[in-house]
Structures are given as structure tokens and as C-alpha cells.
């Protein structure tokens, strides 16, 4: 009987001690040198030595905080405007950026490193959001599963040949799903009619990317040879293939690609504005940029960055992606998705 109490008591005591230790160690660190916090989404990944080299150059330590997907990152950044959880936000894309630009959560900074960034990526004329990486959302096809030739245009998807072949994501719950809806709005003469025909052509829909890619798509043992995924997915299929392969099993329908650009910005209310600007510069440095492809399967925006051999050899990226302005997207998102629901799910 007594044992129960001793056990409960010691567990409580241990919990309190652990909690107390945690808070002490953090405050001691803060006193000695500048630590910047980079706030980003859950898909962020970079090699450990990248921020170590930033530390070696500047003496600034970078800590990464991740939370949820892009939408959740933007919502959280706006909610904590002026009293941010970190110093720099990274990973906001062009489908969500207008929402952040409409808030007071980020501050302008025109980094000199923009000199190496092509104009097509500079979507914020107020210089609050700096383009760091980009990638395309495109229809992928499983090469061996196609009976005929691979589709070459968006309009091919509504032809008889590809009946019951395509699987897409719900734009109301999935960010690639939203990007593909935007692709059809930008890339077909009448997007509503396109989706009506796609429905007749038996398009399958899931709520998330995982359920599509690992569900009805061939990769997960399904039967459909076409799926909405990323331009870099074939490279990932190659690198993480089991058994190893020489060529990716999938290809990309380049005519269907919608461009996503990811941005970084200095958070208003940071205690270290000048150090935060140094971090923005660093995100566009070759050290960081060269590290993006293999970690995040995105492409660097800086023209001085070099792609790893796997990307050079196997990735297909279009020079003429489909595109809509961030302001357009924000203004019409609700109408477009509601109309999509009526057409495709109604």
C-alpha cells in the first residue's frame, strides 16, 4: 500500500525536477550569445553542418522550430504577430503569402543576395518575403503502368485513353491538391468544364497526398497510373528505391506543373533584427542553397547554386510553369474551392 504512494510521489517529484531543469538551461544559454530561432513547417529539413557553418561565420546559433503544414505556419505567424515565437519565418509559399503580407507580422528587408535570384521568383515588391526555394506540383505517371504513350498536356487527362487513371487531392484539405486546382485554372481554357470532364473520366479524389500516392497510385499497390505529386518525386523514387534502380519509375507531365515558391521573412518584434537579416542573406548563400534539393526535394532559387548529380540527371523541371498571382489566389481561394466541390464532389 505504501509503495503506491512512494511511487506516485516520486513520479511527481521527478516531473517537477525535469521541468525545472529544462527552463534553467535555456535561460543560461540565452545570456551568453545570440541565438536566432527559425520558425518553419514540418517538411523543413537541412543538414546539421549547414547552420554550423553559419555559426562559424557569424557566431550566431540557429535553432529551428517547426509546426504543422504551411497553412498552419501562416496562421500561427499571424496569431503571434508582434510577439513572435522566433526571429525569422521560412517556408511560406505563394499560395498563402498574400495572407501574411496583409498582416503586420513581417518586416521589410531587401537582401543584396537577391542579385542572384531570377526576377520570376520575386513576388513581393515590398521586400518582406524573400524567395528561397521553389518546386512544382505536377501530374506524375508510373512509366510501366501506361498502356500507351504518357500524357503530354493537361487536356490529355480528359481523353478516353486516361479514363480511371488519375488520382488527385482535395484542394480544401491538401496543398498539392490546391496547387493542381490552380494549375487547371491557369492552364485550361475553361477550368470548370475541364473538371466536369475529368469527373466523367472517373477521376479519384483523396483528402491528402499520402492517401493518394500510397493508396490508389501504383506506388502504393493501387491501380491508377497518374497522380498529382511533385516535380521532384521521381528523383525521390530513385534515391529511396528498394532495390536500387538506374532510372526513376515515374515521370512528370511538364504541361501540368504549377509553380510553388517558398519564402523567408524577418518577423516583426524580433529582438535581433540585424542578425535576422544576416540569416536571410545566409538562406540565399550557396552553402544553404546547395543543401536544399537533397533534404527538401525543392530547387534553390539562387542562380549561383548547384544541383546535385541526381537532380541534374533525373529531374525534369519546366521553364514555363503555370502560375497565378498570390493576390489572385487569396482573393478567389474560397470561391474556387467551393465551385470545385460542387463540380467534382457534388
Partner 1 sequence: MGEGVNRRTYSEIGWRTVAVVCGVAPIGFLGLFFFYPVINIVTSSLSQGWAGFTDIFNSSRTRDAIWFTTWQAAASTAVTIAIALPCAALMARTSGKAGIWLKALVTVPFVLPTIVVGGAFKELFERLNGSVGVPNLNQTAAAIIIAHAFFNFAVVARTVGAYWAGLDHQLEEQARTLGSSGSHVFWRVTWPRLKPAVFAAGAITFLFSFTSFGVVLVLGGLRQATIETEIFRHAVVRGDLATSASMSVIQIGAVLCLVAVTSHLERRTNVSTQMMRSAIAPMRTGTKTTIAVLSLIFLGSPLVVMVERSFKVADGYGLQSYAALFNKIPQLPTTAIEALGNSVIYALIATAIALCLGVVCALAIVARRDAMGRFLDLAATLPLGVSAVTVGFGILISLNRSPVDWRTRWWIIPTAHAIVAVPFVVRSVVPMLRQIHPSLREAAALLGSSPLQIRRQIDLPLVARGITVAAGFAFAISLGEFGATSFLPRRADTLTGPQAVFRLLSTPGDLLRGQAMALSVVLAGAVAAAVICSELLASKRKGRSEVDMPIGS
Compute the least distance from the CB of residue 119 to partner 1, in Å.
Answer: 28
- Cα–Cα distance for residue pair 37/58, rounded to 1 Å: 15
Q: Which is nearer to partner 1, 111 or 291 (CB)?
A: 291
243 preceded by a cis bond (ω within 30 of 0): yes
- Cα–Cα distance for residue pair 45/26, rounded to 1 Å: 23
Compute the least distance from the CB of residue 4 to partner 1, in Å.
Answer: 5
Q: Which is nearer to partner 1, 59 or 68 (CB)?
A: 68
- Residue 292's contacts (CB-CB under 8 Å, 6 or more residues apart) are 46, 132, 133, 298, 299, 300, 305
Compute the least distance from the CB of residue 80 to partner 1, in Å.
Answer: 6
Classify residue 308 by its DSSP letter: -
Q: Which is nearer to partner 1, 153 or 313 (CB)?
A: 313
With beta carbons less than 8 A apart as the criterion, state whether 37 and 65 touch: yes
Classify residue 97 by its DSSP letter: H
With beta carbons less than 8 A apart as the criterion, state whether 136 and 318 touch: yes
Across 129-192, the runs of DSSP E, i.e. the strands, are 130-142, 166-169
Q: Which is nearer to partner 1, 77 or 111 (CB)?
A: 77
Q: Checking DSSP bridges between strand 61-66 and strand 35-40, what pairing results, if any?
A: parallel
Q: Which is nearer to partner 1, 117 or 205 (CB)?
A: 205
Compute the least distance from the CB of residue 239 to partner 1, in Å.
Answer: 7
Q: Which is nearer to partner 1, 44 or 127 (CB)?
A: 44
With beta carbons less than 8 A apart as the criterion, state whether 74 and 96 touch: yes
Residue among 80, 66, 113, 68 nearest 287 (CA): 113
Compute the least distance from the CB of residue 18 to partner 1, in Å.
Answer: 7
Compute the least distance from the CB of residue 314 to partner 1, in Å.
Answer: 13
Q: Which is nearer to partner 1, 26 or 312 (CB)?
A: 26
Compute the least distance from the CB of residue 67 to partner 1, in Å.
Answer: 4
Q: How far is CA 239 from CA 97, 215, 289, 316, in A?
A: 31, 21, 19, 15
Amino acid at each position: 500500500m505504501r509503495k503506491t504512494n512512494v511511487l506516485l510521489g516520486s513520479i511527481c517529484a521527478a516531473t517537477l525536477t525535469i521541468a525545472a531543469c529544462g527552463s534553467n538551461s535555456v535561460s543560461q544559454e540565452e545570456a551568453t550569445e545570440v541565438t536566432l530561432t527559425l520558425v518553419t513547417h514540418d517538411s523543413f529539413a537541412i543538414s546539421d553542418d549547414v547552420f554550423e557553418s553559419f555559426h562559424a561565420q557569424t557566431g550566431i546559433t540557429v535553432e529551428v522550430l517547426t509546426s504543422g503544414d504551411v497553412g498552419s505556419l501562416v496562421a500561427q505567424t499571424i496569431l503571434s504577430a508582434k510577439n513572435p515565437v522566433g526571429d525569422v519565418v521560412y517556408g511560406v509559399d505563394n499560395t498563402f503569402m498574400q495572407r501574411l503580407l496583409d498582416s503586420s507580422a513581417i518586416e521589410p528587408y531587401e537582401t543584396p543576395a537577391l542579385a542572384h535570384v531570377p526576377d520570376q521568383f520575386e513576388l513581393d515588391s515590398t521586400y518582406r518575403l524573400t524567395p528561397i526555394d521553389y518546386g512544382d506540383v505536377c501530374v506524375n505517371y508510373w512509366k510501366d503502368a501506361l498502356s500507351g504513350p504518357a500524357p503530354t498536356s493537361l487536356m490529355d487527362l480528359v481523353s478516353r485513353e486516361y479514363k480511371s487513371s488519375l488520382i488527385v487531392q482535395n484542394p480544401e484539405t491538401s496543398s498539392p491538391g490546391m496547387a493542381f486546382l490552380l494549375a487547371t485554372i491557369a492552364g485550361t481554357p475553361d477550368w470548370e468544364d475541364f473538371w466536369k470532364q475529368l469527373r466523367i473520366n472517373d477521376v479519384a479524389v483523396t483528402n491528402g497526398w499520402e492517401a493518394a500516392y500510397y493508396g490508389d497510385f501504383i506506388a502504393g499497390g493501387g491501380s491508377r497510373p497518374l497522380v498529382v505529386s511533385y516535380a521532384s518525386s521521381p528523383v525521390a523514387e530513385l534515391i529511396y528505391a528498394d532495390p536500387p534502380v538506374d532510372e526513376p519509375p515515374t515521370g512528370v507531365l511538364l504541361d501540368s506543373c504549377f509553380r510553388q515558391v517558398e519564402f523567408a521573412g524577418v518577423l516583426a518584434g524580433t529582438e535581433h533584427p540585424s542578425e535576422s537579416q544576416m540569416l536571410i542573406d545566409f538562406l540565399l548563400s550557396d552553402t544553404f542553397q546547395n543543401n536544399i534539393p537533397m533534404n527538401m526535394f525543392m530547387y534553390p532559387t539562387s542562380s549561383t547554386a548547384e544541383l546535385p548529380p541526381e537532380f541534374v540527371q533525373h529531374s525534369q523541371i519546366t521553364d514555363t510553369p503555370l502560375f497565378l498571382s498570390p493576390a489572385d489566389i487569396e482573393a478567389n481561394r474560397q470561391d474556387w474551392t467551393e465551385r470545385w466541390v460542387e463540380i467534382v464532389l457534388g
